[in-house]
Amino acid sequence: GLPTIYAVTPTYWRHVQKAELTRISQTLRLVPNVHWIVVEDSETKTDLVRNLIAESGLVVTHLHAKTPPFEQLKDKDPRWKRHRGVEQRNAALKWLRSNLQVNKNNGIVYFMDDDNTYNVKVFEEMAKVKKVGVWPVGLVGGLNAETPILDEKSGKVKGYKSGWKADRPFAIDMAGFAINLDLILKSEASFSYKMEKGYQESEFLSYFIKKEELEPLADNCTKVYVWHTRTEKPVVNGVVPGLEV
């Protein structure tokens, strides 16, 4: 049968949180074989997320893992920007490793940020993954889309079209790959604050695979089924009592 797709979503409170989670949870309703792992960047689980999950009709694991306040430690470095989602994705990896078993749970792991836009077809593509599958991601890195470049003869990944450091071992956005669950369970790979910004994906994938082994999906990387959209921060100057948005 179909593998279960473990979709890992870090999320944090801001005015658009409920709107973002509504959009992606309703996308996931169109995916038959998904297990959503929602990891709140907070001290405790919030009622907003708890209620949204309860209404979603999805199979969900709800976790929380607060990002430590590293920015304060790093304020001597003006260019330093904090990594986003590190703590939360690691909490999800820990949950997978403590709750699922190699060769028993047939699964695929996908890091599904809450603000991107997903075509349900990207989940159909993921179901084909043997080790690590890759595909283009729209609206990222200063390009209309980033994509792995395939060797014409072998059909394998030979490089990347990326607006930024295309020479990274894996110049792929978080939304542009999915990994076999067994590979995750057999490894101790995790994300780290020590990685140079923009190297999270590349370093993480290096634990598992060589570039030539990547499986190009989405019609040999010719289709865009996910977009790295970013939601504008709305102006909220007032709060209407009794209306939770």
- The annotation places the binding site for Mn(2+) at 115
Nearer to ligand UDP, 37 or 217 (CB): 37
Residue 165 binds ligand UDP (CB under 6 A): no
- Smallest Cα–Cα separation from 118: which of 220, 10, 20? 20
| Contacts with ligand UDP, 200-239, as mask; x by CB under 6 A | ------------------------------x---------
- What residue 25 binds from Mn ion, ligand UDP, none (CB within 5 to 8 A, per partner kind)? none
Long-range contacts of the stretch 43-51 (C-beta < 8 A, 24+): 46/13, 48/13, 48/17, 48/18, 48/244, 49/11, 49/17, 49/21
Told to judge if 215 belongs to the known catalytic residues of this protein, a careful annotator would answer no
The per-residue b/e assignment along 100-119, b for 16 or more CB within 10 angstroms, e otherwise, is beeeebebbbbbbbbbbbbb
Q: How far apart are CA 199 and CA 165, in angstroms?
A: 10
Tell me if 147 sits within 8 A of 136, measured CB to CB: yes
Segment contacting Mn ion by CB under 5 A, of 92-100, 107-115, 129-137, 166-174: 107-115
Catalytic residue among 40, 125, 201, 215: 201
- What residue 147 binds from Mn ion, ligand UDP, none (CB within 5 to 8 A, per partner kind)? none
**Contact set with ligand UDP (CB under 6 A):** 9-12, 41, 67, 84-85, 88, 113-115, 230
